[in-house]
Amino acid sequence: MTNENLEGASCPLPEPITDPIERIVADALTLHHVKWRRGASADFFLPEYDTAIECKQFYSPRIARQMQHNVNVIVIQGKKAAHAFASLLSRDNLMARSQLKATPIPEGTK
């Protein structure tokens, strides 16, 4: 399996993503062309946003320690939250596409 969004090239993932919540997030990020890599102190790191994503099935005291290492963190807790995150990426992507289609091209620039 590869992450084709990382650094614009097809790179092997360091290990398969087996956690179901992380899999939902990884698939959504890849589908919507968000560059990501596995984070050192969080599950994902989005270099273009300088933001980490930490996925949890439920709250644990460990998450507080993980958040201390990252200033900008998105925490996704639970499978429903992961699906909501994926849905938000889809909506954002659809809105951006519809705005591009709705924007008329000025005369003489075709």
Q: Which residues pair with 12 in a beta bridge?
A: 2
> What string of DSSP letters covers 49-76?
TTEEEEEESS--THHHHHHHT-SSEEEE
Beta-carbon contacts of residue 17 (< 8 Å; ≥ 6 apart): 23, 26
Fold of 2-83: Endonuclease; Chain A (3.40.960)
pLDDT digits (tens, 9 = 90+) for 51-85: 999 999 988 887 777 777 778 899 999 999 999 99
In 3-state terms, what secondary structure has residue 20? Answer: helix
The per-residue pLDDT of the chain, averaged, comes to 78
Q: Which pLDDT belongs to residue 82? A: 96
**Backbone angle region of 73, left / alpha / beta, with phi > 0 → left and psi within -120 to 50 → alpha:** beta
Joined tokens for residue 83: 């699906």
Question: For the packed helices 20-31 and 79-102, what is the interaxial angle rounded to 10 degrees?
Answer: 10
